[in-house]
Amino acid sequence: MSDSSETSVDIPYDGSDDAFETVSENRVRLAETDLGGVVFYGEYVTYQDAAVAAYRRQLGYGGEYVREPDLTTRVVATELEYYASARFEDVLENEVRVSRIGRTSVTYDHRIRRKADGELLAEGTVTQVVVDTETAESAPVPAEMRQAIVDRQSS
């Protein structure tokens, strides 16, 4: 499903220089921590997923988009680097930007900061591929979605 061999894109876009936007906040719950009150590393992937979903929802491509009869998205890659620990009751700010739109994929950059002091706790990427639900094959990123991302990040 990867689209690394793409040769053409409707609207070329590399948003790697665009500013991050805070798209959501969450308070660390006890269930997300170990016995010392430190967030378990796997929880950051959940935070990443929720932040990307918030970004897409704000664009108008939330749950209703992935439930359309002909298209959905699938995560094909995720990466995170950890710099500092979040703890029970910390309020976290989740920042997102789109760093690349391919023919069939969108790559989101994600950062997590502690709201109280702004410290960067983790950052990474997640890549989603658009999939035709009938054939289960990758499909082009809809032009309207592509343009909504470019418009949002270019303003």
Residue 9, in any domain of the structure: no
Residue 7, in any domain of the structure: no
Residue 43, in any domain of the structure: yes
Residues 118, 111: Cα–Cα separation, whole Å: 11
Residue 48, in any domain of the structure: yes
Question: What confidence category does residue 4 fall into, taking pLDDT thresholds of 50, 70 and 90?
Answer: very low
What domain count does the chain have? 1
Owning domain of residue 120: 20-154
Among 45-54, 64-73, 122-131, where is mean pLDDT lowest?
64-73
Q: What is the average pLDDT across 77-91?
A: 97
Instruction: Report which secondary-structure segment, H or E, holds 55.
Output: helix 43-59
Residue 42, in any domain of the structure: yes
Q: Which CATH number belongs to the domain containing residue 64 in this structure? A: 3.10.129.10
Structure confidence at residue 10 (pLDDT): 47
Q: What is the average pLDDT across 89-99?
A: 96
**Do 101 and 92 touch, CB atoms closer than 8 A?**
no
